[in-house]
Structure 1
Amino acid sequence: MRDEAALRAFVEDMARLLGDWGFPRMAGRVVFTLMAADERSLTAGELADRLGVSAAAISGAVRYLSQISMVAREHVPGDRRDRYRLVDDSWYEVTVAKMTLLKTLADAADVGAAAAGGPGTTAGARLAGMHDFYTWVQDRLPALLDQWAAEKAAKAD
């Protein structure tokens, strides 16, 4: 049986967790409200009602979530209100889109290590370690994502 109070607590806890990682808190609340909804999509008004916030707060959050390809806006013919839904495989898609960030971080750390005097210095060693880590993750992430796609396909069969 669905426990609305527990789901509201879950939404708030997840938004707080993502907020601790730098994700906008209201965007976190919106994305997890959509994840916890039985409906395929919700209007801005429905999101605002469920979260007890203004439509303006929802507008900024869905704009952000749309920019990072987590939420899609759908126009409903004959209705002036748009509906918002999670993009299929949104976590996967966001991860794939952010893979270029790993290379950017690795390259920046490499520049920083050189500027700090190379890996033979304390600061250079820390920055070289950062470079090595992000290069390692970047090299392995595509295979991991392929494994996920294969596992998901196997579950669907």
Structure 2
Amino acid sequence: MPVPGGRLTHEDRRKIAAWLRDGLGYAEIGRRLGRPTSTISREVARNGAPGDYLADHAQRVAGHRARRRKRARPAEAATDGQPTEVERGFVDRFAALLAATGLPRMPARVFVCLLTADAGGLTAADLVRRLQVSPASVSKSIGSLESMELVARRPDPGGRRERYVIDDDVWLRAWRADTDAHGEIATAAQRGIEIFGADTTTGARLGTMGRFFARLSEQMSGTTLAETAVHDALTVVAALVHAGRPLTLGTLAGALDWPRDRAATALDAIHRRPALTDPFVLRTAGPETYTLTTRPDRLSPAQREALEK
């Protein structure tokens, strides 16, 4: 699938490094460069982490990769549409990497085989011939990949057989599925803290895990807020801290001299981006009534005990 705008340039990488230092998320950086969020996340992952991404280093690495790809290109193509030895080796190595992430090995091999096929895809017979496996193995693998929405069926223009293809938006679907799963894990971790207690070892572990997956979900989903929304959310936080008691939506809006919709939007922004209230957490104290409490996972039991002395 071609990347919009072509390959990243040295100037693109300098901008990425600067925006990472400014604390921008991958989605916002992608929007500014006109690139998919996944392009930015892969670029950073290949070259360290957001905190140590260096544009010059990333550019040198990209140049080395391009030269290796050029040297590795087979001198002559395989005949009869069959993959070359180099291509078969790539399929097997890439499939092994996918299998390490949890995808069963045979579906992984079928997936990579389709990934490296022409735009028209492959028939089941093509897959059997290329992978040198049984039709049953291919059929079972296709069923598994279809259940994950990684593969689609298309009619074969030249006959009655079906062809299997990987749509261009498969990455977006997989990305969204991962994002939703990470958000659910963060929510479940918070619920676990309430059940086991923030003062327990389990609660502390769940707190660490919840913060990690909440941040990951935010980065992957591109949850960004306009500057005015952030300002309003922080104003609401200041109001609740100053009041020191639960406030209804109406009371909050009246005290701030805002329309109710503006106050409700600010509260919704806090719900969508809990990091805005750190080290506090927004709680619902009743119908349209809100308060702030200290995050139970921010201090360890020993730290709280020492502070209470």
* Pairwise TM-score range, normalised by the shorter structure: 0.7 to 0.9
Residue 133 of structure 1 is matched in structure 2 by 212
Measure how far apart 1:130 and its partner are: 0.9
Partners of 1:97 and 1:117 in 2: CA distance:
30
Which residue number in structure 2 is paired with residue 143 of structure 1?
A: 222
Task: State the match for 1:91 in structure 2.
Answer: 171
The letter of the residue matching 2:200 is T
Q: Deviations over 1:63-87 (max 9, x none)?
A: 1212222211012357221100111
Contact 1:15 / 1:29 at 8 angstroms: preserved in 2?
Answer: yes
TM-score (norm 2): 0.43
Counterpart Cα distance in 1 of 2:193 and 2:88: 45
Q: How does the TM-score come out when normalised to structure 1?
A: 0.80
Report the AA paired with residue 48 of structure 1: V
Q: Letter of the 1:67 partner, please give it.
A: S
Map 1:114-129; keep pairs closer than 5 Å: 114-118=194-198, 120-129=199-208
Query: Taking structure 1 as reference, are residues 78 and 52 closer, same or farther at Cα in structure 2, changes over 3 Å only?
Result: closer
Distance in 1 between residues matched to 2:158 and 2:100, nearest whole Å: 41
SS where residue 101 of structure 1 aligns?
Answer: helix
Identity of aligned residues (%): 36
Q: Matches of 2:220 and 2:139 in 1, distance apart?
A: 33
Task: Give distance in 2, aligned partners of 1:78 and 1:35.
Answer: 21
State the Cα deviation string for residues 109-145 of structure 1 (Å, max 9, x = none).
Answer: 2233333332x3322211111111111111222228x
| Alignment match, 1:37 | 117
Counterpart contact for 2:95–2:109, Cα < 8 Å? yes
Larger Rg: 2
Corresponding residue SS for 1:98:
helix
Aligned length: 143
Secondary structure in 1 aligned to 2:97?
Answer: helix
Q: 1:116/1:104 Cα in 2 relative to 1: closer, same or farther (>3 Å)?
A: same
Contact 1:69 1:87 survives alignment (8 Å): no
Change (3 A) 1:46 1:18: same
Checking the alignment, whether the CA contact within 8 Å between 1:27 and 1:65 is kept in structure 2 is: yes
5+ residue gaps in structure 2? 1-72, 76-83, 224-309
What is the correspondence of 1:1-157 to structure 2 with a 5 Å cutoff? 1-2=73-74, 4-38=84-118, 40-76=120-156, 79-118=159-198, 120-143=199-222
Contact 1:41 1:86 in 2 (8 A): yes
C-alpha distance in structure 2 between counterparts of 1:116 and 1:50, whole Å: 53
- Match of 2:207, SS state, is helix
- How many angstroms apart in 1 are the aligned matches of 2:158 and 2:85? 34
Q: Over aligned residue pairs, what C-alpha RMSD do you find?
A: 2.0
Q: Considering fraction of residues, name the structure with more helix.
A: 1
Contact 1:34-1:86 within 8 A present in 2 as well: yes
SS in 2 for 1:70: coil
Give, in whole Å, the separation in 1 of the partners of 2:153 and 2:116.
18
Superposed CA offset, 1:21-70 (max 9, x none)? 11121111011111222352100110111111111111111112122222
Gaps of 5+ in 1: 145-157
Say if 1:42 and 1:83, in contact at 8 Å, map to a contact too: yes
Q: Partners of 2:74 and 2:99 in 1: how far apart?
A: 26
